[in-house]
């Protein structure tokens, strides 16, 4: 983890600028631009102004996007290109510690990006309650539900060609069909179960409840359970993949 933090100390200024710019672009284009049209024509979504409906969803979606970015090329680079993981394992560090350290840095970056998003969006009236602060750990958990399994996948690929498939046929459809921009009950009936089994929809629902200060009840417990299962199963797969790739 020390290595990752040393690298981040050299690059944080550039990443922080992007962290502020991303929510502004989303707010201006989707929340305020498209949101004005939706509010005028449909009166919002589910009794909420479109801005307050869509921004919590984008909060979870951004966590997913960052998780994909930090767990694909970066992981393969450390395995194959600069072999940083091998250098770490030449010390007394074990595979679990190397994996856990990198995942901890990913979680930290998710937390920083999510906190900035909330701080930027709040003055625009994008949230209905101060309970939106709970959306920060929820978004981090949502991102980790993607990052940990993708770590496992990245450790099994021989080259980066598989990442383009992952971005095009997994990440992009999830952005569109997981309740971020419109409720999933507007999807065809056969598509709705596909949203239920993916982490993003569960993260979107939890972030939306937190942003409005709504108690999620047993449904919230179910959403958390799904996200934790993805993280737990992903850890087992990632640890096995790292061990096989780095020690065999």
pTM of the model: 0.92
Domain chopping of the chain, boundaries = 2-247
**pLDDT (tens place) for every residue of the chain, 248 residues total:** 566 667 666 666 666 666 677 777 777 777 677 767 777 777 778 889 999 999 999 999 999 999 999 999 999 999 999 899 999 999 999 999 999 999 999 999 999 999 999 998 999 889 999 999 999 999 999 999 999 999 999 999 999 999 999 999 999 999 989 999 999 999 888 889 988 999 999 999 999 999 999 999 999 999 999 999 999 999 999 999 999 999 97
3-state secondary structure the chain: CHHHHHHHHHHHHHHHHHHHHHHHHHHHHHHHHHHHHHHHHHCCECCECHHHHHHHHHHHHHHHHHHHHHCCHHHHHHHHHCCHHHHHHCCCCCHHHHHHHHHHHHHHHHHHHHHHHHHHHHHHCCCCCHHHHHHHHHHHHHHHHHHHHHHHHHHHCCCCHHHHHHHHHHHHHHHHHCCCCCCHHHCCCCCHHHHHCCHHHHHHHHHHHHHHCCCCHHHHHHHHHHHHHHHHHHHHHHHHHHHHHHHC
48 φ/ψ angles, rounded to the nearest 5 degrees: -115, 145
Phi-psi region of 46 (alpha: psi -120 to 50; beta: other; left: phi over 0): left
């Amino acid at each position: 983890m020390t290595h990752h933090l040393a690298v981040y100390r050299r690059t944080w200024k550039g990443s922080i600028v992007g962290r502020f710019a991303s929510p502004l672009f989303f707010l201006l284009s989707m929340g305020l631009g498209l949101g004005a049209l939706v509010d005028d024509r449909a009166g919002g979504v589910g009794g909420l102004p479109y801005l307050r409906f869509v921004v919590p969803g984008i909060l979870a979606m951004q966590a997913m996007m960052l998780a994909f970015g930090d767990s694909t090329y970066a992981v393969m680079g450390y395995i194959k290109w600069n072999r940083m993981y091998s250098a770490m394992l030449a010390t007394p560090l074990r595979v679990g510690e190397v994996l856990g350290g990198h995942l901890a840095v990913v979680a930290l970056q998710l937390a920083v990006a999510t906190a900035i998003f909330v701080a930027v969006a709040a003055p625009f009236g994008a949230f209905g309650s101060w309970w939106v602060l709970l959306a920060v750990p929820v978004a981090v958990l949502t991102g980790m539900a993607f990052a940990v399994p993708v770590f496992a996948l990245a450790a099994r690929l021989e080259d980066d060609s598989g990442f383009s498939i992952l971005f095009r046929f997994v990440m992009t459809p999830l952005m569109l069909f997981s309740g971020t921009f419109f409720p999933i009950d507007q999807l065809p009936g056969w598509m709705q179960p596909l949203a239920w089994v993916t982490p993003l929809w569960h993260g979107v629902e939890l972030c939306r409840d937190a942003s409005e200060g709504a108690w999620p009840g047993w449904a919230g417990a179910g959403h958390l359970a799904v996200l934790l299962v993805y993280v737990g199963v992903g850890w087992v797969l990632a640890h096995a993949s790292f061990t096989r790739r780095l020690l065999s």
